Amino acid sequence: MAGRSGENGGGAGGDLSEPLLDKEAARRYSELYSAGVLSRLTFSWLNPLLRLGRSKALDLADVPLIASEDGAARASERFADAWSLHGHGKDGGGGGLVGVLLRCFLGEIMLTGFYALVKTLAIAVSPLLLFAFVRYTSHKEEERRDLAAAAALVGSLLAIKLAESLSQRHWFFGSRRTGMRVRSALMAAVFRKQLRLSARARRRHSAGEVVGYVAVDAYRLGDAVSWLHTSWSSPLQLALAVATLLWALRLGALPGLVPLVAFGFLNVELYGTVAYVSQNSWIQSGTVRDNILFGKPFSKERYERAIRACALDKDIENFDHGDLTEIGQRGINMSGGQKQRIQLARAVYSDADVYLLDDPFSAVDAHTAAVLFYDCVMTALSEKTVVLVTHQVEFLTETDRILVMEDGYVKQQGVYTELMESGTAFEKLVSAHKSSITALDDSSQQSQVQEQNVTDENTSGQASDIDSVSAKGQPSATQLTEEEEKEIGDLGWKPYKDYINVSKGITHLCVMGVNQVLFTSFQMMATFWLAVAVQMNVSSALLVGAYSGLSILSCCFAYIRTLYAAKLGLKASKAFFTGLMDSVFKAPMSFFDSTPVGRILTRASSDLSILDFDIPYSVAYVVVGASELVTTILVTGAVTWQVLIVAIPVTITVAYVQRHYVASARDLARINGTTKAPVMNYAAESILGVVTIRAFGETDRFIRNNLLLIDTDATLFFHTVAAQEWVLIRVEALQSLTLLTAALLLVLAPPGAVSPGFAGLSLSFALSLTAVQAFLTKFYSYMENYIISVERIKQYMHLPSEPPAIIPENRPPSSWPQEGQIDLQDLKGQSGLAIHPELYRSSVSAEEITKQSSKPERLGRSGGGRHVLGLAAGQGHHLLLDRLPANEALAEEEENPARALAGALEKCQLQTAIRSTPALLDTVVSDDGSNWSVGQRQLFCLGRVLLRRNKILVLDEATASIDSATDAILQRVIRQQFSSCTVVTIAHRVPTVTDSDKVMVLSYGKLIEYDTPAKLLEDKQTAFAKLVAEYWANSKRNAT
C-alpha cells in the first residue's frame, strides 16, 4: 500500500506551524498509483483534479498526496545508500555527486532514455514518410489507384506522430519526476548534513549558504535531469537527419558536479540524555507550548512544574492565548528574558540526565536570575548533573566545582574557597563583583534600604511588587504567522501590464514582436522559395543564394528578438528588485513579526529569477509559437484549402482544452509558490539551533519534519508537471486530426492538382503542426505560471510603510544634533500599527523627559518592555543616531584610520584577542559573528560606536554577556569617551545604571518611575529601590 513519506514523524509539539500544512492528514493519494495503463498513457488520472479546478479555486487540501515511491524519505534513503557505496563509502571509490545520482536513479533514467529513443526514431522516420508522399503525388493517375498503399502511408504517418507524442510526453514527465526525486534527495541530504556539522564546519558554511544549497542548487540539479537525455538524443537525431539527407540526395559523407560533503559525526562521549540551553536563545516559530515540549509527549504535571521553575507562569497568564500564543520567527515578539526562560523550560521539561546551561541568566534581571538559579537549577534540577557556564560570580558559592576558562583553556579548577585563596584570575573576577556591590551597599545605606526588607523572597518563585503592577497593561498576545496571501482566479492581463509598466519595457516588447513577425515571414519565404524554385528550374547558384540570404536575414531578426528579450528581463528584474527592497526595508516591524523570512527570500530569489529570465523568454516563445502556428495553418490551407475545414474547429477545441487546463494550472502554480518558503524557513531556522537539536537528541524528528515539507513542495511540482503533459498530449492528438486531413487530401487529390513541390511544402508544415501547437501550448502554460511571480512580488511592493525617515519641510540643519537632547512626550511605541495593533504597545506616560548631555537609563524586569523602546528608537520615532543592540549584527566595516582603530580596540579590551589571530585586522568575521564569542561581539559593536562619536548613543543590553571586571572597565570607558554625549542605556544589571543622571523603570511596557537614582533610592517602596536591594542582598550573601 502506498504510504506518505514520514507521515508519522510530526510528534508532539507540531513544529510545522505553516497554516498551509494544517489539513494534510485528510488528503488522499494521487490516482496515478491506482490508474490503469490507458489512464497512465493519456494522463487521464488527472481529470478529477482538473475538473475540480475548473469549478473552484484550488487550495492545498484539494491536491492529492504523492506516495512513498515519490517521497523524500525514499529518495533520501536511496541516495544515502548509493553515496555510502560509491561516494566516500567503504570501497573508497570517491565517486562524484553526478556519478552517485546516476547510479541511484539508474532505473528511472533508463526508462526515460527508452522514451527519448522512441521519440528520436519517430522524428527520424517522418522525413522518410514525407519523401514517400512526394513520390506518391508525382505518380501518374494509373499508378495512384493503389488505395491500400495510400492508406498505409496515411496510417503510418498517424501512427508515427502518436508514437512521437506519447513517447515525448512520458519522456518529459518521467525526467521531471526523476528530477523531483533527485531534488528531494539532495535537499534532505543537505538538511541532514547541516545537523551534523561540527562547529568549525558551520563557520565555513554559513546559514545563507546552506539555504542557497536547498533553495537554488538542489532545484537546478533536479532540473538538469530533464536535459540529461537531450545530450545524446539531439546528436543522434542530427546524425539520422544527415543520413536521411545523404540517402535522399545521394551526397558524399560529411565530417561531423560538485562532490557532496562527506557525512561525518561529532564524537562526544556522554553518559545519559542531555539538555542544552544556548547562550543565544534559540526559539522556533510556533507556539510557546511547542517550544517547551520540543517533540516530547505532553504531561500536564511535568509541564506546569517546568513553567513554575522557570518563572514563566505570570507571562503565560498575561498572554491572550496562554501557552498557545504564537512566537514569531526567532522569537521576535518575545523579550530576551522571555526567550531565555522558554528555552530553559524546554530543558527542564525534557527531564534529561545532564544539563548544559550556557550563560542562562545574562538576559534576565537580578531578581529573575535568583529565582531561576534557586527554583530551577538548585531545586528542579537538584538531582541532575548541571554544567553552568556563567560570568555572574554571585552564584558560584553554591556550586560543587568551578572551572575557570581563559582563551579557550582551563586555567584553574577547584571549589570556591580554594580558588579565592589562590589569588589569580578567579579572585580578580570576584573582586570586581565585590567592588560593584560595595558601591551599591553605599547607595543603599544612604537611602536606608535595608537588606531585611528583601528577606527570603529573593529565592522564592513569587514575584515582587514590581511584578504586581496591573497585568492589564500587558499587550495582548496575537497569532503572528499569517497564511501566505495568493491571488484567486484569472487576473487577465493585469499581471502582464504590471510587468511592462514597472519595467518600462513597452519599447523592448514591441521590438521583440516586430522582429519575431519578420523572422517568421522570412523563414516562411525561404521555405516557399524552395517549393517555387523547383517548379521554375532555376540555377543552383540562384536557388542556394536566395535561400541563404533569406535564412541569414531571418537569423538576424531572431538575434535581435532574443537580445531585446534579455534586455527586457534585465530591466524588469532591476525595477522589481528595487521596488521590493524599498518596500520591505520601509515596512513596519509587525510585518517581519508575521512574515517568515523564507517568504521574503523566495520572492527575492526564485521569483525574481523568473522575472529576469523565464518571463521574457516565455513571452518571446509564445509569440514565436503563435506566429508559426498561424503560418503553418495558412501554408497548409493555401495548398489544400479543405484542410481549414478541420484546422479551424481543431484550433477552437485546443483553445477550450487550454482554458480547462489553465484554470487548475494557475492555482497549482500559486500554491507551489507558497510551499517553497516553509522548506527554506525550516532549514534556516534549524541551522541556527543545530547544537540544541543535537543536544536534545531530536535530529531524527527534525529530519522527518523536513521530509514532510519537501514532500509538500514536491506534491505541487508533481501535479503541475503532470498537468502540463495532460494538456500537451491532448493538443497533439487534436492537431493530428489536421495532419490526417492534409495527408488524405494529398493522396486523394487528382493527378496534377497539387505539384510535388507544393505537396511536400504542405505536408512538411502539416507534420510540424503538432510540434508547433505543443510548443505554443507548453510556453503559454509556462508563461501563465511564471506571471504569478509578478503577482507575488507586487504583493510585497505595496506594504504599509513607516513614516518617512526624512521630511523635507522639517529637515534640520546639517549641523544637527548639536546638544544631544532627547524629548519624550507621551511616547507610544506601536510598531504593529499597520497589521497587528496589539503588538509591542508601549506607553511612556511622562509629561516631559528632557536632559541635555545626560545619561538616562531604562531598567525593568525581564519581559518588562525595555526592548520595545529600543525598537521604537531604531525606527526613527525620536532623536537616536546610534544604537548598540543586544543581538549583535556584525558586518565588515568601512575603513578607519589605523590609530583610531587601534585605540578603539584597546579601549574595548579586544587588542589581545586580535593580536592572537594570524590575520590580525584582516581576520574574517563569519556569518552572525559565530567565530567570536557573544561577549566579543558586543565589544566589537562598542568599538564601532567609539569610532563614530555620535551625539546620542543607545546601549541595548550592551554588556549583558561580559564579566563584571570587563564590564567595569567598559563602563569607565563609556563615561569618559561619551561624557559630552547623551547616553541611553537599556539594562537589567543594577550596577550599570546607579551612576546615571536619570533612571526610567518600565514594567509591562509602561513607564512606572522616572527620576535620579538617588531620589528613587530615598523611597524604599519604589521599584528601583527594591531592585537595588534585591541585587545587593543576593550578591552580598553569595560573595561572603
Q: Indicate if the pLDDT at residue 485 is higher than 80.
A: no
Average pLDDT over residues 93-102: 74
Contact residues for 908 (Cβ-Cβ < 8 A; gap 6+) = 939, 940, 942, 943, 946, 970, 973
Spatial contact of 880 and 954, defined as CB atoms under 8 Å apart = yes
pLDDT of the residue at 928: 64
pLDDT of the residue at 114: 93
Lowest mean pLDDT among 352-356, 751-755, 1030-1034: 751-755
Q: Which residue has the higher pLDDT, 4 or 994?
A: 994
Tell me the percentage of the chain whose pLDDT exceeds 70.
69
Distance CA 844, CA 827 (A): 5
Q: What is each CA distance from 261 to 192, 536, 926, in whole angstroms?
A: 11, 67, 20
| Runs of H (alpha helix) within 213-323 | 218-224, 230-249, 288-293, 300-309, 313-317
Helix (H) or strand (E) holding 266: none
Domains of the chain plus CATH, in order, are 274-463 (3.40.50.300), 485-640+749-800 (1.20.1560.10), 808-1039 (3.40.50.300)
Spatial contact of 657 and 734, defined as CB atoms under 8 Å apart = yes
Q: Is 146 helix (H, G, I), strand (E, B) or coil?
A: coil
pLDDT band for 263, please (50, 70, 90 cuts).
Answer: very low
pLDDT band for 256, please (50, 70, 90 cuts).
Answer: very low
Distance CA 756, CA 133 (A): 9
Spatial contact of 365 and 988, defined as CB atoms under 8 Å apart = yes
Average pLDDT over residues 826-846: 38
Q: Indicate if the pLDDT at residue 608 is higher than 90.
A: no
What cell was used for 776? 505554443
Q: Indicate if the pLDDT at residue 267 is higher than 70.
A: no
Residue 156: phi and psi, rounded to 5, are -65, -40
Express each pLDDT in 780-813 by its tens digit: 877 877 888 888 888 888 888 887 777 777 777 7
Of the segments 282-296, 420-434, 461-475, 816-830, which one has the largest average pLDDT value?
282-296
pLDDT of the residue at 88: 57
pLDDT of the residue at 45: 92
Spatial contact of 288 and 321, defined as CB atoms under 8 Å apart = no
pLDDT band for 137, please (50, 70, 90 cuts).
Answer: low
Of the segments 128-137, 521-530, 812-821, which one has the largest average pLDDT value?
521-530
Strand order in the sheet with 982-986: 828-830, 841-843, 1006-1011, 998-1003, 856-860, 982-986, 952-956, 883-884
Helix (H) or strand (E) holding 838: none
pLDDT averaged over every residue in the chain? 73
pLDDT band for 1017, please (50, 70, 90 cuts).
Answer: confident
Spatial contact of 1023 and 466, defined as CB atoms under 8 Å apart = yes
Lowest mean pLDDT among 38-42, 577-581, 769-773: 769-773
Express each pLDDT in 386-444 by its tens digit: 888 887 777 777 888 888 877 667 777 888 777 777 766 676 666 666 665 555 455 44
pLDDT of the residue at 640: 66
Q: Which residue has the higher pLDDT, 486 or 809?
A: 809
Spatial contact of 738 and 646, defined as CB atoms under 8 Å apart = yes
pLDDT band for 294, please (50, 70, 90 cuts).
Answer: confident
Distance CA 722, CA 665 (A): 10
Express each pLDDT in 924-959 by its tens digit: 776 666 667 767 777 777 777 777 766 777 777 766
Entry pTM: 0.67
pLDDT band for 973, please (50, 70, 90 cuts).
Answer: confident
pLDDT of the residue at 311: 86
pLDDT of the residue at 19: 41
Average pLDDT over residues 25-44: 82
What cell was used for 706? 523536513
pLDDT of the residue at 111: 92
pLDDT band for 446, please (50, 70, 90 cuts).
Answer: very low
Q: Indicate if the pLDDT at residue 682 is higher than 80.
A: yes
Express each pLDDT in 888-931 by its tens digit: 444 434 444 667 777 777 777 777 777 777 777 777 776 666 66
Q: Indicate if the pLDDT at residue 187 is higher than 80.
A: yes
**Closest to 285 in 3D by CA, of 348, 336, 332, 342:** 332
pLDDT of the residue at 767: 66
Residue 538: phi and psi, rounded to 5, are -75, 165
Count Cβ atoms below 10 Å from residue 372 Cβ, excluding itself.
26
Average pLDDT over residues 562-570: 88
What cell was used for 522? 522570412
pLDDT band for 639, please (50, 70, 90 cuts).
Answer: low
pLDDT of the residue at 21: 43
Spatial contact of 966 and 958, defined as CB atoms under 8 Å apart = no
Express each pLDDT in 153-164 by its tens digit: 778 888 888 888
What cell was used for 55? 469549478
Q: What is the DSSP letter of 86?
A: I
Residue 953: phi and psi, rounded to 5, are -130, 130
What cell was used for 361? 541568566
Across-strand partners of 857? 985, 999
Q: Which residue has the higher pLDDT, 880 or 927?
A: 927
pLDDT of the residue at 864: 44
